[in-house]
Structures are given as structure tokens and as C-alpha cells.
Structure 1
Amino acid sequence: MRISMRKAAAALVLALGATGAAAQQQPQGDAPPAEVGVVTLSRQDVPRVVTIPGRAVAYQSVEVRPRVDGVIEEILYSPGRPLNVGDPLFRIDDASYRAQVAADEAELATAEANLPVAESDYNRAQQLAGRGYTEAEVESARAALAEARATLDAAQAALDFSRTQLGWTTITSPIDGRAEVAATSVGNLVSAAQSDALTTIVRTDPIYVDMVEPSARRLSVRQQIESGQLTMNGDLAATLTLENGTVYHGSGTLVTPGNTVSTTTGTFSMRFSFENPDHVILPGMFLRGDITIGTIRAFLVPQRAASRDNSGLLTVYLAAEDGTAQQVTLRDEGSHDNAWIVTEGLEDGDRLIVDGLKSLQDGQEVRPVAVTIDEDGVTRDAAPAAEGDDGSAADADAAAED
């Protein structure tokens, strides 16, 4: 009995060994194709929008300085309040200028009184020439009359200038805008030749925004227009994104496209004008501008389906007709929403792999499944299989788990 049990155990060991050897000799089957989500690409009209940095610049900015000498008697404005052209800002002591006006008025009155006398002398000398007045005396009377007229003109000019200087003792705003805090105070002596401004007035409605663009991109856009890929939509328009990420409500119009390229940065500056009634944009702010150039015939490649290499090119995978994943390198022309704009390297009907990219390799066998991408970037089956009401799908899943 003991011998029989030993023989049975030995036979079992031999059987198991044979089974293991057979399993090792049996070739394993190939791995199944990887399931990937794909979207079918087609060329379409895409807005050509470029995003570039910008900086706000005041529409008008004036440094106010005195035009006459004197002591500041009064500051006539409130900092930050709106000003119109001609609103008074400062008053300078005008006593000496009023005295000069009075003196010039007296000079003018004297000249006006002397002119009729000179005219009468000349007329009399001209009538009595050769009958008591020599030719020299007539010429002298003519010269005296001319001098009297010149004296009158000089007196009038001096009075006009002195009155102008008297008017300059009240410094007014040359533009509409808002003034900064005064850089002087009542009692300070100012002069017409000083370099320090009394205050600065800035107009911010409308306001300029200077946007900086690489010159290489400008050449690329010009080439696309000439080739017919890009269609212009009239004048350039721009929208702004503020420093806190808020999109500004108004759109800007182009003032100047820029005529020179910086020798240090290789960029040129475009100036846009924006309405700014609420003074939300202030000079010096850094902004982001989106400029709509036109429309371009291109493919939209979802950003989630592409990666960039060290040279800045896009790398994507296409589901080829032979059932493999094909790696393709593309050059983009910017972005639109959550997609890259691509004009070359793709064809209508290409199936772009957007899901299942992890560990995917070039040439790997794949099983494409049509999907869609919603606004949140989530992929969903384009035509999901309907599950039966009898629970067969749940049973199938349970069987698969078993």
C-alpha cells in the first residue's frame, strides 16, 4: 500500500512537469491592438488671431510749467478731478505785470497823441514846399511822420505782450484730462525757465495701447495673404485682457501699424486706440492683446492631442489605414480656443488620436474609436453602444471581471 502511494505521487509529479514543459513550449499570442479615441480632421475657416503683449500709453500727457516769473498765490484745482481746456490751475502774483500793462497803455496813448501832430506837420510842409519849406524840411517831416507811426505800432505791440504776460499769471489747463498733485505750494517762487513741472495733466479717454509684435510673424502673415491662405477682414481689430485676467469690454482700432523694427529685439510696435470712459485702463498698465487679422483655411488640432519637442514643433499621432499609429510632426500657426491652428502636414479625413496616447509608440497597432471632445476637454464616444434593459451589459461586465 505504501509502495502504491509512492508510485502515484511520482506519477503526479511527472504529469505536472510535463504539463509545465508543454506550457513553456507553447507560443504566447500577440498583444491585442490598443484602443484609442480618434477625431476626423477637416479643413475649415478659422479666425487668425495673434496674442501679443501691450502697454497702455496716455492719449495726451502735458507737464505744466510757468511762462512768467512770480510767487504762487493760489492753487485753483483739485487733483484727480476732471479738467477741461482753459480751466485755471495756478495763480501767480500779477502786481508787476499789471503795472507793466499800465505803463504800456500810457506809452500807447502818447504815441497816438503824437501821430496827428506828425501828420499835420508833414501835410503842411508838403503844401508849402518851395514857398517857405525846403525839400530837406519836407523830407524831415516825412521821416518824423514815419517815426511816429512806428512808435505807435511798437507801443501797441508792447501793450499786447504785457497783457499776454498778465494773462499768463493765471496758468490754465491746455488739454482735457486729470491733473496730478501739485509739485509746488502757495508762496513758492517760480520762473519761466525752470525745468520742474508744477503738475502733470493726463488724458486717458480714449487711451493708446502699444502692442509689440515680432517682425518674423509679420512676414509670415504677409506671405499667407499673398498665397491666399489668409483672407483679411477689413481693418485690424483688437481686444484686451487686463492684468487680472478680465476681458476688457471694448475693442480697439489701429492707429499706426509701426514703421520701424527694433535693432535689439527684432520687434515693431503697433498702436491701437481704445475708448476708456470709466478710466479702467491707466497709462503704464501691462495688457494682453488679441488681434484678429482675418480668417485662414486650416485644421484645428486639439491641444490635448499634441506635445512640443525641443524645436517647438508639434508631435501628434494619426490612426493610419493599416491599423497602426503614425507619428507626425507639424508646425502650428497659433491657437484658436483649445486647439492649434495647422495649415500643412495634414489632409482632410485624417484620424487624429486624441485619447489613449499614454505609452503609445510609432507603428503600434491600434483600434480606433470615434470620439468627441466637449468644451471642458473631456472625450466622449461619438456613438456609444446602447445597453440593453435586461441587464445583459452588466452581466457581460461581471463575466469579464471574473
Structure 2
Amino acid sequence: MLKITPLLGFILSMTLTGTACAQQPNIPNSDSNQSYEYQLVTKGIDIPWGMAWLNATDILVTDRKGELRIIRNGELLSEKISGLPALRAEGQGGLLDVVVDPNYAQNQLIYFSYSGLEGEGEGAHTSVMRAKLQDFKLSQQKVIFGGGLNSTKGQHYGSRLTFDNQGYLYISNGDRGNRDVNPQRLDRDAGKIHRINSDGSIPKDNPFIAQKNTHPSIYSYGHRNPQGMAKHPQTGDIWTHEHGPKGGDEINIIQPGANYGWPVISYGVNYSGTSFTDLTEKEGMQQPAWYWVPSIAPSGMTFVTSDIYPDWKGKIIVGSLKFAYLVILELDGNKVVSQETLFPGIGRVRNVKQGADGYLYVATDGAGIFKIVASQ
């Protein structure tokens, strides 16, 4: 267990300069003396991409290499869930996010994204399957989102899943490394946020449903690689974050039919340092609610609603793969107004979620899954 002691006045420039300090403590609000520490729950999952709570004791976890596991009362069970589809576990692909049906207690339905083979051509694409989970077995499997053109490129699957208050399922889909074609074309499903019904059918009020030569499931477009998505607890809006190139990671509030600009506008540059666009804004394209320069490589996000964390309630927590810490964002309505870093050195954060028990859980690549608790 690593103990984190409070320190006030830590400046924002630590994140903005891309500096990660292994000994930097977390920062509680100035009106509180509470401090927190992270506590290991379990190891044994190489890349824990998705987490979902089946009930108060059982956490369903995906391992990107292609395994679906259960953590029960803090113990990783040895039996693996069977019945997964064929997938391509290469590069950034594999078994990705997982969510449970809003009525899971009654129907035992789960939904998971993966690098599926159902599309056209060689390679893989972002797919989503619905299945019934009983006794470590999946049954009644149905592909409800099956991607268009496959790609042999192994990056930018997106793949976060979130239900809204009306029961619609949102799916983030990355540009699959084809930035100059996929994000801005409505006849391509890559580089988009999609909205579907839980059975895979299309909501009648989707913004492009009546437009020819489009994917009717598209809800917004112009995205690069969204690997964070969460529902705002008060407004019900869907918020996402996505990887920029070198700089220009973004947080966005998703609006129907909106164009988020990639790659026409961006606050980033090529990995080589050269420019691919001179524009950071353009009429008809959405500005991000927040962006990072340099990139933090965000993955996973959650709104804090639990009374366990009075300092953080009402804020957003985002994981950083690049700097191996958490970022906490303060909101003023729908505006992000400031940020602080938490728990430097916790590991490459793949996901962060608030659990059914009200605690925050942080999934890291290789280092394990941790729970954030009050310091003793």
C-alpha cells in the first residue's frame, strides 16, 4: 500500500510540461484535510481494459489479450468466462471495454467491444457483442455493432461503451489510423461516436438516419481515438476524451450530429513535430471542453459522485497512460476550469471507474487493479 499525504498549492505546470514526479503527493481541496492512498485489489490481469460491476461484490474485467475474468470480494477467480467471439489481439486490439445492461439483475445481459473479424476485408474492426452471462458462460451471443471495412492497422479502435439515461448504448470508434479519410466521411464508421438500441437497432432520432450513404448509427464524427467515455450524473450528457497525436488530447461533450474536427482542426502536431494542420478552430466544428499539450495519453474516465470522496465529488477523474498518474478535473457547469494530478507512479492507467460500492478503482497495465481509500 502506498500512502499519499496532502500537499497544498501544487501547480498546474507539472502536467502541462509533461513532467511526472514519482514522489509527488496528491492534492486535496484547500477546505479539507482528507488524504487518500491506493490499495492493491489484485494482480493477474495483463491489460485490464474494461471494468463493470455485476453486483456489489463481483467485478467483470476484460484482459486485452482475450480473456474475460471476474474479481469477487477482491479475489481474481481462476475460472475464465467462455463463449467469447474470435478477435484479433494484436497492437491495440483485443478484448476491450465491457458494460452491463441497465437491467442486468433481471436479464444477465452484458455488452463488450473487441477487435472483431466481422467486417469486410483483411484485418479487424471495432465490434460490439451482446450476450447473456450465466455460470462463467456466455450464451445468446449477438453482434450488435460490426464495423464496416476491416483494417490490418492495429491502432485506434476507440471502443468505450456507455449507456445513457434513456437506455441507448454509445460506442466510441477510433479512426483506425486512417486520419485523412475515416473521421470526416459519414459513409465510414471509424472516427465516430455511435448510438444504438441495446438490440443493435437504430434509434429513430439519430442525427443521420435519414441521410443517404451514411452509417445511421453515427451520432457524432471527427474523432481520433476516444478511449474515455462517461455519463454526466446530473445532465445525462455523454462526455468523452480522446488521444491526440503529439499534443491535442481532448475532452468533449457529445452533441448529436456535431463534428469534432479531427484532423481538420487540432491542438497537436505529428509525432515527428511537423504540422499537419494550421487550424485549431473552424466554423461548424466543435471546440474541446479541455485539451492537453503535451499529450497525457488519456484512458478511462469517471465522474465522482460518491460521498466517500467529499474533496472530489462532482469532479472528473481521467487516467494517464503516458505519465502513470490520475488527473482530476474541476467543473463549473459544463466547463472544465482546472486540473490537478494524483498518485504519480501508480502505473500506466488503462481505466478508472467508480464501483458499485462507491469506491474508485484504477486498472493499470501490469501493475494491478487498485482501490482508492482514505488514509489511516
Query: Which gives a bigger RCO, structure 1 or 2 (Cα 8 Å, sep 6+)?
Result: 1
- Higher helix share goes to which structure? 1
TM tier, shorter chain?
A: under 0.3
TM-score normalized by the length of structure 2 = 0.18
TM-score normalized by the length of structure 1 = 0.17
